[in-house]
Amino acid sequence: MANIHPAGVFDTTYEEDMSVDRTARDKLWKNLAFLALLLLPLVSVSGPLGLGWVSDQYIGLIARISIFVIAVQGLNILVGYTGQISLGHAAFMAIGAYGSAILARELGFSFWTALPASALLTGLVGLLFGLPSLRVKGFYLAMATLAAQFIIPWVLRYPLEDLTGGTRPLSVPAPMIGPFAPYAEDPINADQPLVFQAGDPYLVDVISVDFTGLTGAYPVIELINPAGDAIPYGDVYMSVSEDSDGNVTGLSYIASKAGEYQVAVRAQNGGEFTAVIRRSKALSFAADIAMYYIIVPLAVLLMFLARNIIRTRTGRAFISVRDNDLAAELLGINVFGYKLRAFFLSAVYAGIAGCLLAYERNSLSLNAFELDVSIEMLAMLIIGGAGFPLGAMFGVVFIRALQEALIPFLRPWLSDWLPQLFPFIDAVNITSAINPIVFGGALIVFLVLEPRGIAHRWEVFKVAWKLRPYSY
Amino acid sequence: MTEFINRNKRQLTWALYLIAAVAILLFLGDQLAGKKAARIVQTLISGVLVGGVYGLVALGIVVINKASGVFNFAHGWMMVVGGMIFWSFFTVSEISLLGAGLLSSATMLMIMSTVSWRNLREGRNPLITLGGIIVLTALMTVGGIEWQWLHALTGTFAGAILMGLAVERFAIRPLIGQPLFTAVLMTLAVAEVLHGVTQIAWGTVELNLPVFVDPQTNSRFRPIRLDAFRDVLDGVAIVRVELVIAFLLALVAFVGFILFFRYTSVGLAMRATSEDQQLAQSVGLRVRVILAITWAVAAFLASIAGVLQGGAVGLSLNISFVALRVFPAVLLGGLESISGALIGGIIIGLVEQFGTLLNSSEQVGTNLAPYLVLMLVLVIRPDGLFGEKRIERI
């Protein structure tokens, strides 16, 4: 699609031709849209302004959409820009998700270090599964990524069961900024409960217990609510700190939604210690709309990066590999090197998306990363428009809109008349079966009618709008 | 040193492969040494038996790929649909006349309109259509439950052909002229739709398909115990009769389809189309019709495999995963090779059964080993054992 500018705007330099925002008006619209996205949670029901214009449910929805926009944008770099089909994207997301969760749980990484670390880890695994692209391409490469889609979850499920919990869900702590300087410090010996009050959802208590002179088993630390019950594991999160010799020197608890509670430290198996309980405050993103401010700006940033890649040497090399890899090789492009780079970048995006997904849901299970999800992401990309920077966004928004708006509308209606028409149909089965039908149907319609996707329609629409009232 | 490596690259590569193979064999041998000989023999036999059905599934994928170059990701769901249709006709005692009539009308209309809807207005075609509908409906509804085999076979035949032609007509044919990638994605979309439809119509519960039952007792066959070899094998190897029957039927179907491809004019036309579509068109073959027939044949193959697999291990949506395990078999045998499909299927069956023998708790056989084989094939020999070497032309 040729670049059509408003009357009077001409590209006279290469920079102008390649610019992201050609006119001030483009830039204004883009910035206004970003600002509106940022201000949206403030006017939501639980927002600080108390306006209640937007339901909280939509804030969460936008956050989840943004996570998938990141993942699908990664797929876009691989499939849309470089032309290498991947059927294993969900498995890469699983590595990002489980990688960050394990780093946080076992090694005490905070969210801010776990995110880049898990993204890098995912990128390296992506490189590993990109290696077959040296010998095979096209459909055969899709098969290699299909193998990744089965091998990676298997590795996470069985050999790493101690770390990942296998088939059981794994809880993930909420990201925090802090803890801020401690202001309560109570040395105790044993069995002395301390009472704390509930914090608000944004500022949470971080309880850390530091031991000196610890011998034997380290003590049991429990958070107990006023009724005397232990607070459920999902509401608190524990991390263990060790010194350089591997001895446990402290445990820290993050009581995100705990309410009023007591901390009880009990010795067990003849362990002896002197403990100091410290309490500090930290800024938490555990509240539902708080993750929004991590996810959405990151999604916008990553979208912008993906947009910029095609303006660089790397991006042009990607596109030439996609259009004709033999010709690209004759031009002196290191085809295998660029394919590997595309695999790496794509997996990094998937890793970031997976990490965000883990922290957004607070709980992980392998069911969220099955083959269906990979296919769904590929379909989102095709529907949105592969190879277009905005394609990922259009595709994810379209599919989610179908799932959130069309399916709840169809479901009661279908459950009503389908069993009447065909008596052998059980209405119970309809609920879960609509999703694949609607989704596969949408993909069929787009493949037949508009294989270049919504993004291409959007370009056509923009041109028509700029040329109005004359069509050419 | 570098010069030596460069000069003997091929020999060195094979030497490396040989070392790896010996290492794997030593490792597996060590693992297997702890098992009883009877268990190993039993695993060998059931691996080959399971592999026969896999070969049949692989044949369906190979047929479509040979004719049109499309890799059919929907094959697993076609298996499920075929098996479920068979179940519906097989277990229901009273076939509804309306349902049977609708199915046969849709099938006959689809068959007759494969070339063009205009066909239905010309010559004897309306009469043939009507006759076909009446015959199919009669075959599906005649008699009571004692005719269940006839009902089920006719119903599955009609349903499979309808499914294959419909997929080709509404999903694949509109994509003529698009890149192959689009067609492959389309098969993924078709798989999703078939998934939803199956789930609505038959639910997610595992259905009992009593195909392989002892006619005398009307219950499952007692497994064969190889008592004669008790001393040699240090134990009794057990072979399930269902698997034996499924294997034999799969072999019969396999041989039948090979004969079909080799000796019938339609089969000849299909082979010609797979060689070169333009050339086939230029000698007067109707490529569009032949592609439609290919899809119908593949859907029929998938349905047979679905019935056999469903009868042997139980019919549920999980059967679609069998097709995913068959992809390694297809690549191993070679995408264009019909005999490769059977050999690849048997190898994957063996790999799966031995994986389960070595580690039964962690789904090594079903969820890991076939895909490791897939990775190995892609890295070492992407064209498979019997596939054609692809040559790139600019």
Do residue A140 and residue B378 have CB atoms under 8 angstroms apart? yes
User: Are both A200 and A130 inside the same structural domain?
Assistant: no
User: Are both A167 and A180 inside the same structural domain?
Assistant: no
> Residues A230-250: what's their mean pLDDT?
58
Least confident of A415-429, A436-450, B258-272: A415-429
**Chain A residues closer than 8 Å to B180 by CB:** 138-139
User: Are both A63 and A166 inside the same structural domain?
Assistant: yes
B394 touching A (Cβ < 8 Å)? yes
**Chain B residues closer than 8 Å to A447 by CB:** 175, 178, 182, 185-186, 189
The residue in chain A having the minimum alpha-carbon distance to the alpha carbon of residue B205 is: A429
The residue in chain B having the minimum alpha-carbon distance to the alpha carbon of residue A424 is: B201
Asked whether residue A41 carries a pLDDT value surpassing 90, the answer given is no
Q: Domain for residue A43, yes or no?
A: no
Asked whether residue A193 carries a pLDDT value surpassing 70, the answer given is no
**Chain B residues closer than 8 Å to A371 by CB:** 324
User: Are both A310 and A165 inside the same structural domain?
Assistant: yes
Do residue A437 and residue B200 have CB atoms under 8 angstroms apart? yes
Which of B68, B94, B194, B371 is the best substitution to test chain A (most A C-beta atoms within 10 A)? B371
Q: Domain for residue A380, yes or no?
A: no
> Residues A36-52: what's their mean pLDDT?
80
H helix intervals, chain B:
2-7, 9-33, 37-68, 75-91, 97-112, 125-141, 148-167, 180-202, 230-233, 241-263, 265-275, 277-282, 287-313, 320-333, 338-358, 369-380
**Chain A residues closer than 8 Å to B201 by CB:** 422, 424-425
Top pLDDT among B367 and A301 is at: A301
User: Are both A215 and A145 inside the same structural domain?
Assistant: no
What pLDDT does A261 receive? 66
Q: Tell me phi and psi for residue B25, to 5 degrees.
A: -65, -40
First-to-last alpha carbon distance for chain A, in angstroms, is: 13
H helix intervals, A331-452:
335-361, 371-384, 391-401, 407-421, 427-449
Do residue A135 and residue B378 have CB atoms under 8 angstroms apart? yes
H helix intervals, A214-334:
292-309, 313-323, 325-330
Q: Domain for residue A404, yes or no?
A: no
Kindly state the helix (H) or strand (E) to which residue A128 belongs, with its residue range.
helix A111-130
CATH number at residue A208: 2.60.120.380
Give A126's pLDDT tier (boundaries 50, 70, 90): very high
CA distance B358 to chain A (A): 15
| Nearest residue, CB atoms, A429 vs list B204, B331, B379 | B204
From A323, A341, A369, the end of a domain falls on A369
Distances (CA, A) of A121 to A97, A295, A342: 11, 20, 15
**Chain A residues closer than 8 Å to B368 by CB:** 150-151, 154
User: Are both A336 and A258 inside the same structural domain?
Assistant: no
> For chain B, how big is the Rg over CA atoms in Å?
23
Give A1's pLDDT tier (boundaries 50, 70, 90): very low
The residue in chain B having the minimum alpha-carbon distance to the alpha carbon of residue A445 is: B171
Q: Domain for residue B228, yes or no?
A: yes
Top pLDDT among A221 and A296 is at: A296
Residue from B122, B139, B83, B129 nearest B105 by CA:
B129
For residue A54, list its beta bridge partners.
A44
Distances (CA, A) of B106 to A47, B113, B130, B137, B275: 57, 10, 11, 11, 32
Which of B173-197 are b and which e, b meaning 16 or more Cβ less than 10 Å from the residue's Cβ?
eebeeeeebebbbbbbbbbbbbbbb
B180 touching A (Cβ < 8 Å)? yes
User: Are both A280 and A299 inside the same structural domain?
Assistant: no
Evaluate the omega torsion of the peptide bond into residue B382 and state whether it is cis, within 30 degrees of 0.
no
Phi-psi sector, B123: left (phi>0), alpha (psi -120 to 50), beta: left
Question: In 3-state terms, chain A is what percent helix, strand and coil (to 5)?
Answer: 55, 15, 30
Provide the domain limits for residue B49. 35-93+144-380
| Nearest residue, CB atoms, A151 vs list B180, B202, B368 | B368
Which of A86, A151, A152, A154 is the best substitution to test chain B (most B C-beta atoms within 10 A)? A154
| Nearest residue, CB atoms, B196 vs list A157, A418, A436 | A436
Do residue B375 and residue A440 have CB atoms under 8 angstroms apart? no
- Crossing angle of helices B125-141 and B97-112, in 10° steps, is 150
**Chain B residues closer than 8 Å to A158 by CB:** 362-363
Q: Domain for residue A425, yes or no?
A: no
Q: Between A and B, how many CB-CB pairs are < 8 A?
A: 133
**Chain B residues closer than 8 Å to A382 by CB:** 185
Q: Domain for residue A392, yes or no?
A: no
Asked if A302 and A345 count as a contact pair (C-beta separation under 8 A), the reply is no
CB A449: neighbour CB atoms within 10 A? 8
> Residues A350-360: what's their mean pLDDT?
93
| Integer Cα distance of B16 and B14 in angstroms | 5
Please give the distance of CA A430 from its chain centroid, rounded to a whole number.
29
| Integer Cα distance of A350 and A369 in angstroms | 11
Residue from B75, B53, B76 nearest B63 by CA:
B75
Top pLDDT among B69 and A122 is at: A122
Q: Domain for residue A96, yes or no?
A: yes
Asked whether residue A423 carries a pLDDT value surpassing 80, the answer given is no
Question: DSSP string covering B95-108, please?
Answer: --HHHHHHHHHHHH
Q: Domain for residue B392, yes or no?
A: no
Number of structural domains (chain B) is 1
Kindly state the helix (H) or strand (E) to which residue A283 belongs, with its residue range.
strand A272-284
B122 touching A (Cβ < 8 Å)? no
Do residue B200 and residue A147 have CB atoms under 8 angstroms apart? no
Asked if B257 and B62 count as a contact pair (C-beta separation under 8 A), the reply is no
Top pLDDT among A287 and A436 is at: A436
Asked whether residue A51 carries a pLDDT value surpassing 70, the answer given is yes
Q: Domain for residue A91, yes or no?
A: yes
Do residue A375 and residue B362 have CB atoms under 8 angstroms apart? no
Give A96's pLDDT tier (boundaries 50, 70, 90): very high
Asked if A84 and A343 count as a contact pair (C-beta separation under 8 A), the reply is yes
> Residues A59-73: what's their mean pLDDT?
93
Do residue B195 and residue A440 have CB atoms under 8 angstroms apart? yes
Asked if B294 and B158 count as a contact pair (C-beta separation under 8 A), the reply is no
Number of structural domains (chain A) is 2
| Structure tokens that stand for B207 in this block | 């259905």
CB-based burial label for A156 (10 Å; 0-12, 13-18, 19+): buried
CATH number at residue B249: 1.10.3470
> Residues A10-38: what's their mean pLDDT?
87
> Residues A420-439: what's their mean pLDDT?
81
User: Are both A258 and A316 inside the same structural domain?
Assistant: no
| Structure tokens that stand for A121 in this block | 């880890």
User: Are both A67 and A121 inside the same structural domain?
Assistant: yes
What pLDDT does A194 receive? 56
Kindly state the helix (H) or strand (E) to which residue A38 belongs, with its residue range.
helix A24-39
ipTM of the complex: 0.87
From A369, A386, A410, the end of a domain falls on A369
Asked if B294 and B270 count as a contact pair (C-beta separation under 8 A), the reply is yes
> Residues A14-29: what's their mean pLDDT?
85
User: Are both A316 and A227 inside the same structural domain?
Assistant: no
User: Are both A309 and A278 inside the same structural domain?
Assistant: no
A426 touching B (Cβ < 8 Å)? yes
pLDDT in tens, chain B (394 residues): 788 888 888 888 888 888 988 888 888 888 777 777 888 888 899 999 999 999 999 999 998 988 888 889 999 999 999 999 999 888 887 778 888 899 999 999 999 888 778 878 888 888 998 999 999 988 888 877 778 888 899 999 999 999 999 999 999 888 888 887 888 889 999 999 999 999 988 888 888 888 877 777 777 777 877 777 777 777 778 888 888 988 998 899 889 888 988 899 988 898 888 888 888 889 999 888 999 999 999 999 999 999 999 888 888 888 888 888 899 999 998 888 888 899 999 999 999 998 888 877 777 888 889 999 998 888 888 888 887 776 655 5
Which A residues in the span 148-167 are in contact with B, Cβ-Cβ below 8 Å?
150-151, 154, 157-158
Do residue B181 and residue A151 have CB atoms under 8 angstroms apart? no
Residue from A237, A229, A250, A233 nearest A204 by CA:
A237
Provide the domain limits for residue A315. 55-172+289-369
Residue type, B295: W
User: Are both A187 and A275 inside the same structural domain?
Assistant: yes
Asked whether residue A246 carries a pLDDT value surpassing 60, the answer given is no
Percent of chain A with pLDDT over 70: 76
Which of A437, A438, A449, A452 is the best substitution to test chain B (most B C-beta atoms within 10 A)? A437
What pLDDT does A187 receive? 55
Asked whether residue A189 carries a pLDDT value surpassing 50, the answer given is no
Q: How many residues does chain B have?
A: 394
Q: Domain for residue B365, yes or no?
A: yes
Residue with tokens 């596109």: A319
| Integer Cα distance of A122 and A90 in angstroms | 11
Q: Domain for residue A127, yes or no?
A: yes
Give the angle A51-A55-A56 at the CA atoms, nearest 5°: 100
Asked if B148 and B89 count as a contact pair (C-beta separation under 8 A), the reply is yes
What pLDDT does A240 receive? 58
Q: Domain for residue B107, yes or no?
A: no
Please give the distance of CA B73 from its chain centroid, rounded to a whole number.
11
**Chain A residues closer than 8 Å to B328 by CB:** 147
**Chain A residues closer than 8 Å to B371 by CB:** 146-147, 150-151
Give A252's pLDDT tier (boundaries 50, 70, 90): low
